[in-house]
Chains A and B, each alone.
Chain A
Amino acid sequence: MTFEYAPAPESRDIAALKPSYRMFLDGEFVEGTGEPLKTLNPATEEVLTEVSTASIADVDKAVKAAHRAYDRVWSRMPGSERAKYLFRIARMIQERSRELAVLETLDNGKPIKESRDVDVPLAAAHFFHHAGWADKLAYAGYGPDPRPLGVAAQVIPWNFPLLMAAWKIAPALACGNTVVLKPAETTPLTALVLAEICQQADLPPGVVNILPGAGEIGAELVAHPEVHKVAFTGSTEVGKQIQETVAGTAKKLTLELGGKAANIVFDDAALDQAVEGIVNGIFFNQGHVCCAGSRLLVQESIAEELLERLQARIGTLRVGDPMDKNTDVGAINSAAQLARIRELTEIGDAEGAVRWTSSCPLPDKGYFFAPTVFSEVQQAMRIAQEEIFGPVLSVLTFRTPEEAIKKANNTPYGLSAGVWSEKGSRILWATQQLRAGVVWANTFNRFDPVSPFGGYQESGFGREGGRAGLEAYLNV
């Protein structure tokens, strides 16, 4: 007797996929003068559509358009009016949520249940939250009349394409800035639908400009002399380059970079929920999460039991067609990323860590990587130090709380951390000791527009979300 879930695929038609997409500049969809790119469905390796990209000249046009919109319209508009545009965008995202979710899954490879239940609702929530700030900035603690900065250049990654666009655009607009945003090369589509929503919402031309393109377009954008604000989410490597580019200018910079989060499980933890949290921490979005709980630190006294439970639980994860509502782990976003994950896991083997791989079947086509756990990982191994950005968990053990914290903090990163214990004082102690911008205690990978997000050390600086997140877009 077996219980096989029949595939329950979401219909691709809902994405209303068009044969080609164009960039959004000064309120119009126009043909970019860069080399067009083809965006793939990573779950099938099929071309989804063609997207025109920006050239260096287009970057200049977009920045100038954003400048005009800033000078003539957006910076002069009362906050209460800006607010209404943002509320409208929030509502339209909700109205088109199913379309956006399906499109996101097609373009990104993440499971539909995540795009449907996490990415899209949170994107709408971000606009809704920030809309309310637009006419209340005087109460945000930055003085009686905080002013916007001007044109914001924003470069976002491929792991949460729509959500990251919302994280960037909503606070920028609420504070009175205008935006030129470059989505990631492999995932430009939902940002362009968001542009369509901006158009439908009658947002004044030039307030939001979306320029698809490769890395050099991002580099060009952040270097543009008429940009006043740079916001980047992505790898620490590129973040450093951007910080160098911005050096010596007056541009305000915020960076949200990589991480190698420790997830610490004490022996008094609620084990079954800890297992859930560990699974969510590393396999959510295929582990393509900068704040993923990629280093599991388990107290030695429960390590064996926890690992057994964890493997049993991971064994129930369904890997495969991201469009299937029953899929838990979808496709790796690109061939390049898959190659990197393979490379780092091979290094893990070579370093002597013990690899365990879920026996779940993988599709024949597409970029997939089975959930993997390395045990007997030592702090000195590369898989304990480097961000793998995939469904790969490294398990280390500790004996005392002090040792746990020491190992957890032993990284140049500092984006997030997790801690599991049923003892209140220990939880509070650990959250104090951990050098990370977000600490999830007895939970993991939770996000909310009111909750500031951002890192310590080489995970970047500045916060996104909540009152603290406004600072990045105000001249304060």
Chain B
Amino acid sequence: MSYGRPRVLPVGHFQDVVRDESSLRRFLHALPGVDQVGLEQRAAGLATRSIKKASKMWAIDTAISMIDLTTLEGSDTPGKVRTLAAKARRPDPGYPDVPAVAAVCVYPDMVETAVTQLSGTGIGVASVATAFPSGRSIREVKLADTRFAVEQGASEVDMVIDRGAFLSGRYWQVFEEIQAVKQACGDAHLKVILETGELAGYDAVRRASWLALLAGGDFIKTSTGKVSPAATLPVTQLMLQAVRDWHAATGEHRGVKPAGGIRTTKDAIKYLVTVHEVAGPDWLTPKLFRFGASSLLNDLLMQRRTQLEGHYSGQDYVTVD
């Protein structure tokens, strides 16, 4: 079985960081602290940016193009996935110029259906894996889960970290597991879900972000969507700081994906402003920023129509899924 290219370990001084368990621990514990109040204030400040007219249209289209259109339910069927794929290709049948979304995101057993529907569209197929959403299984099962998704044609894998291991301080175990999954991904892009709602505070989110970046995650992702709170602006800001600092240290661009709880255009724009001002304009691309969402798409479409038609649109004018 192919594990794909082994990723070259992080450059420069990070080689020392990941030399062994204690060096990794020392590094993570030496990261600058995060002041909750200051972080949340900055998030609130960014949320007051007012976006209008042409910028708003641009922001809406950009947000659409960044969506990982998601269905992760026990009740998912091939039919549901086919509908989703159709929506992904052409989000608003009334306006063919609406960009396609970035990817659809499904469970591994739905990957095949999604791949069939989306082949040749350029839209990615992302699969959750590694005993999603809890991550509570043995390593072999998680790797098998990953391999299966990739074999089925997933171009992106959204893994979950072992929060239990992380919270009990077994960073090395989490690190190795991410690396192993990364290997199992082969050419597929790896998004590492931190499940920030289960981590104890912002300091832990910062550590988990760096851990995932050190282990080779292409994206760091906030949440499974199954735990509340899911994505928040402060947490996303913090993760954007991590990829910004990673870039400053290594020259590499890594991505961020907030997922869960982002439902309105207004919310999405706040996230884009945050991306723009915290990480920088380079990150305003689906290659480096995604929204894990489902209902968000329809709100974006309605707002888009409102912008174009000059009056408020209604739910019946966009397709339910």
A358 to chain B, nearest CB (A): 14
A142 to chain B, nearest CB (A): 34
Residue interface mask A269-313, B partner, CB < 8 A = 1 = 111110011000000000000000000000000000000000000
Asked if A5 and B49 make an inter-chain contact with CB atoms under 8 angstroms apart, the answer reads yes
Nearest neighbor of B32 in chain A, beta-carbon distance: A271
Asked if A443 and B32 make an inter-chain contact with CB atoms under 8 angstroms apart, the answer reads no
Contacts of A432 in B (CB 8 A): none
Contact of B58 (CB < 8 Å), options: A3, A113, A117, A326: A3
Asked if A3 and B59 make an inter-chain contact with CB atoms under 8 angstroms apart, the answer reads yes
Question: With A3-B272, A5-B55 in contact, is A273–B39 under 8 Å at CB?
Answer: yes
Asked if B38 and A270 make an inter-chain contact with CB atoms under 8 angstroms apart, the answer reads yes
Contacts of A4 in B (CB 8 A): 54-55
Asked if A326 and B38 make an inter-chain contact with CB atoms under 8 angstroms apart, the answer reads no
Contacts of B59 in A (CB 8 A): 3
Q: Which residues, 31 to 78 on B, are CB-close (under 8 Å) to A?
A: 32-35, 37-39, 41-42, 48-56, 58-59, 62
Please report whether the interface of chain B is mostly helix, strand, loop or mixed according to DSSP: helix
Asked if B277 and A316 make an inter-chain contact with CB atoms under 8 angstroms apart, the answer reads yes
A442 to B144, CA, bound (A): 47
B184 to chain A, nearest CB (A): 33
A277 to B41, CA, bound (A): 10
A273 to B276, CA, bound (A): 18
Contacts of A273 in B (CB 8 A): 34-35, 38-39, 42
Asked if A276 and B38 make an inter-chain contact with CB atoms under 8 angstroms apart, the answer reads yes
B50 to chain A, nearest CB (A): 4
Asked if B39 and A3 make an inter-chain contact with CB atoms under 8 angstroms apart, the answer reads no
Asked if A272 and B51 make an inter-chain contact with CB atoms under 8 angstroms apart, the answer reads no
Tell me whether A268 is interfacial, beta carbon within 8 Å.
yes
Contacts of B55 in A (CB 8 A): 3-6
Asked if A443 and B38 make an inter-chain contact with CB atoms under 8 angstroms apart, the answer reads yes
B237 to chain A, nearest CB (A): 9
Tell me whether A325 is interfacial, beta carbon within 8 Å.
yes
Tell me whether B17 is interfacial, beta carbon within 8 Å.
no
Tell me whether B284 is interfacial, beta carbon within 8 Å.
yes
Contacts of B35 in A (CB 8 A): 270, 273, 422, 442-443
A393 to B55, CA, bound (A): 33
A269 to B35, CA, bound (A): 9
Chain A residues within 8 Å of chain B by Cβ, number? 24
Asked if A3 and B284 make an inter-chain contact with CB atoms under 8 angstroms apart, the answer reads yes
Asked if A6 and B52 make an inter-chain contact with CB atoms under 8 angstroms apart, the answer reads yes
Asked if A270 and B33 make an inter-chain contact with CB atoms under 8 angstroms apart, the answer reads yes
Contacts of A360 in B (CB 8 A): none
Tell me whether A8 is interfacial, beta carbon within 8 Å.
yes
Asked if A6 and B51 make an inter-chain contact with CB atoms under 8 angstroms apart, the answer reads yes
Contacts of A442 in B (CB 8 A): 35, 37-38
A177 to chain B, nearest CB (A): 36
Tell me whether A2 is interfacial, beta carbon within 8 Å.
yes
Tell me whether B281 is interfacial, beta carbon within 8 Å.
yes
Contacts of B273 in A (CB 8 A): 3
Asked if A272 and B281 make an inter-chain contact with CB atoms under 8 angstroms apart, the answer reads no
Residue interface mask A1-17, B partner, CB < 8 A = 1 = 11111111000000000
Tell me whether B241 is interfacial, beta carbon within 8 Å.
yes
Contacts of B33 in A (CB 8 A): 268-270, 422
A342 to B143, CA, bound (A): 64
Residue interface mask B266-300, A partner, CB < 8 A = 1 = 00000011001100010011000000000000000
Contacts of A5 in B (CB 8 A): 49-52, 55
Contact of B48 (CB < 8 Å), options: A2, A113, A272: A113
Contacts of B272 in A (CB 8 A): 3
A36 to chain B, nearest CB (A): 37
Question: With A3-B58, A4-B55, A5-B51 in contact, is A272–B285 under 8 Å at CB?
Answer: no
Residue interface mask A244-275, B partner, CB < 8 A = 1 = 00000000000000000000000011111100
Most buried by B among A3, A4, A8: A3
Contacts of A269 in B (CB 8 A): 32-33
Asked if A270 and B41 make an inter-chain contact with CB atoms under 8 angstroms apart, the answer reads no
Nearest neighbor of B282 in chain A, beta-carbon distance: A1
A316 to B34, CA, bound (A): 21
Asked if A272 and B34 make an inter-chain contact with CB atoms under 8 angstroms apart, the answer reads yes
Asked if B34 and A270 make an inter-chain contact with CB atoms under 8 angstroms apart, the answer reads yes
Contacts of A276 in B (CB 8 A): 38, 41-42
Contacts of B48 in A (CB 8 A): 113, 117, 325
A33 to chain B, nearest CB (A): 45
Contact of A6 (CB < 8 Å), options: B37, B42, B53: B53
Asked if B281 and A3 make an inter-chain contact with CB atoms under 8 angstroms apart, the answer reads yes
A269 to B34, CA, bound (A): 9
A395 to chain B, nearest CB (A): 19
Contacts of A277 in B (CB 8 A): 38
Asked if A326 and B277 make an inter-chain contact with CB atoms under 8 angstroms apart, the answer reads no
Asked if B54 and A6 make an inter-chain contact with CB atoms under 8 angstroms apart, the answer reads yes
Asked if A326 and B276 make an inter-chain contact with CB atoms under 8 angstroms apart, the answer reads no
Residue interface mask A165-178, B partner, CB < 8 A = 1 = 00000000000000
A273 to B54, CA, bound (A): 32
A6 to B50, CA, bound (A): 8
Asked if B39 and A325 make an inter-chain contact with CB atoms under 8 angstroms apart, the answer reads no
Contacts of B241 in A (CB 8 A): 272
A1 to chain B, nearest CB (A): 6
A342 to B273, CA, bound (A): 33
Other than A3-B59, A6-B53, give 9 A-B pairs with Cβ distance below 8 A. Answer: A1-B62, A1-B281, A3-B276, A8-B51, A113-B48, A268-B33, A269-B33, A273-B38, A326-B49
Q: List 15 A-B contacts (CB under 8 A).
A: A2-B281, A3-B59, A3-B284, A5-B50, A6-B52, A6-B55, A113-B48, A269-B33, A270-B34, A270-B38, A272-B38, A272-B241, A326-B49, A422-B33, A442-B37
Interface residues of A (CB under 8 A from B): 1-8, 113, 117, 268-273, 276-277, 316, 325-326, 422, 442-443
For the complex of A and B, list the 3 residue pairs with the smallest distance between their C-beta atoms, beginning with the closest. A273-B38, A8-B50, A422-B33
